[in-house]
Amino acid sequence: MNSKKINWIFLAIILMHFAVVAVITLLAWRYAFILDIVPNFLMSQSIILVPALFGVLISKENLIGLAGFHKIKISTVFKIFLFTFLSMPLTSLVNMISMLFVDNTVVAISGDVLEVPFLIMLFIIGIFGPFSEELVFRGIVYHGYKKTGTAFCAMIMSALLFALMHMNFNQAAYAFVIGLIVVMLVEATGSLWSSVIFHMVFNSQQVCLMYLYDGMSPGGGLEGAEEMLTTDMLLLAISAWLLLAAVSTALAACVLAWIAKGERREDALRAVWKDRKKENARQNRMVTIPLLVAIVLALSYMSLEIILPLLPA
């Protein structure tokens, strides 16, 4: 599996997304069909899993070996929990900055999510979703790009594709940051399990907070709270979180180094940054026509989601 095949896989993911949206829109227009939130989430995961697994199949790759499901120490698992929570202020900060320009996508769907029993959504969003996304983007995509170019370039490319996969600017902003963080975690441990654990803890925390806030709020839920959020309030929150994110991110970097030392992967982690300027003739072939087409299609879709609601009815 190399970058050329990865780019075709990503184009297939974007085209499959377009096809599914077109079919659902047609059914909604013709038969007033509305896809519930649970099958919607499962469909979104299938959109990324099917092309990726098909690409691995026709490439005759060993999926387990390609993805890098290697053992990690029990102590490392606890360190990953700590690293995850220390990384959250940075992603929250990026999310708030994006909210200056676009709506919070998670808040927008929170009403539908909260209609489903907690344990079902915890499994879908907190366990199944993170596992499938890490398998594709840090397992198949990252390692595929890494075979063609440097680890640094592969990290940037895989984070970009992970961001665009969300198909909205709000989630894409902090998904890109998460994409960078978990690649460094994978290199610090040498195992995809580390990024799976990070992603599961991150998403599960969001689900728990969503249901907790809904149970404690007198009415309106998250959507009502966002409607009352003014730009001045958001800027004030950003200022406060800026300091918190600076401190917590510095501590997270220390924990990452601690993890790498425990797994004896310090050199591998340093190499991600040190190799960023390394000349590699093959990495010039990482960006191909299928990838450019996929990026243009994804950005066009994301832009239309913002523009269409602004047009007069």
pLDDT band at 231 (very low <50, low <70, confident <90, very high): confident
Residues contacting residue 191 through CB under 8 Å, at least 6 positions apart = 68, 69, 70, 71, 72
Q: What is the DSSP string of 240-275?
A: HHHHHHHHHHHHHHHHHHHHHHHTT-HHHHHHHHHG
32-82: per-residue pLDDT in tens?
Answer: 888 889 999 999 999 999 999 999 999 888 888 888 899 999 999 999 999
107-162: per-residue pLDDT in tens?
Answer: 888 888 889 999 999 999 999 999 999 999 999 999 999 988 888 999 999 999 99
How buried is 132 (Cβ within 10 angstroms: 0-12 exposed, 13-18 middle, 19+ buried)? buried
Six token digits for residue 113: 């999510």
pLDDT at 192 over 70: yes
Six token digits for residue 35: 């896809």
Q: How far is residue 135's CA from residue 139's CA, in Å, rounded to a whole number?
A: 5
End-to-end CA distance of the chain: 47
Residues contacting residue 303 through CB under 8 Å, at least 6 positions apart = none
Q: Residues 109, 223: contact at Cβ < 8 Å?
A: no
pTM of the model: 0.93
φ/ψ of 114, rounded to 5, equals -70, -10
Distance of CA 239 to the CA centre of its chain: 25
pLDDT at 281 over 60: no
Q: How far is residue 92's CA from residue 7's CA, in Å, rounded to a whole number?
A: 30
Query: What average pLDDT score do residues 262-291 get?
Result: 82
Q: According to the model, what pLDDT value does residue 109 have? A: 85
Q: According to the model, what pLDDT value does residue 224 have? A: 62
